[in-house]
Amino acid sequence: MRLDKFLKVSRIIKRRTVAKDVSDQGRVWINGREAKPSNTVKPGDELKIQFGQKFVTVRVERLAESTRKDEAEQLYTVLAEEAIPRTDPLNW
């Protein structure tokens, strides 16, 4: 399944166009490699996604062409959420 479609179907990102834009900006990695929207995602892959000032790492558990809202979280497992360290010298 395409990365942008998985991000949308799993509801990690709500709209496919936004998922495509985030991938195009270099804010998504699959198994440590920068990913494009058309990259293939399969169960077992680890995705690292930059959301604003944090990274979220998830493992793909299964794929589905469509899901209901209450089933979407079963497609992935959140492995880590980490804040991006600020480089502002005034932020002690």
Range of the domain at 20: 3-83
Residue whose structure tokens are 């990274």 = 55
Rounded to whole angstroms, the Cα distance separating 63 from 69 reads 15
Residue whose structure tokens are 């998922």 = 19
Question: Does a structural domain hold residue 88?
Answer: no
Question: Does a structural domain hold residue 91?
Answer: no
The two tokens of residue 53 are 């000032």
Question: Does a structural domain hold residue 60?
Answer: yes
Question: Does a structural domain hold residue 43?
Answer: yes
Question: Does a structural domain hold residue 69?
Answer: yes
Residue 76: beta bridge partners?
Answer: 60
Note the pTM of the prediction, 2 decimals. Answer: 0.86
Nearest to 41 by CA among 25, 21, 17, 19: 19
Q: What is the pLDDT along the chain (92 residues), one digit of tens a residue?
A: 999 999 999 999 999 999 999 999 999 999 999 999 999 999 999 999 999 889 999 999 999 998 998 899 999 999 999 998 877 666 55
Q: What is the CATH number of the domain that holds 66?
A: 3.10.290.10
What are the residue ranges of helices labelled H in the chain?
3-9, 16-24
Question: Does a structural domain hold residue 49?
Answer: yes
Question: Does a structural domain hold residue 92?
Answer: no
Question: Does a structural domain hold residue 76?
Answer: yes
User: How many domains are there within the chain?
Assistant: 1
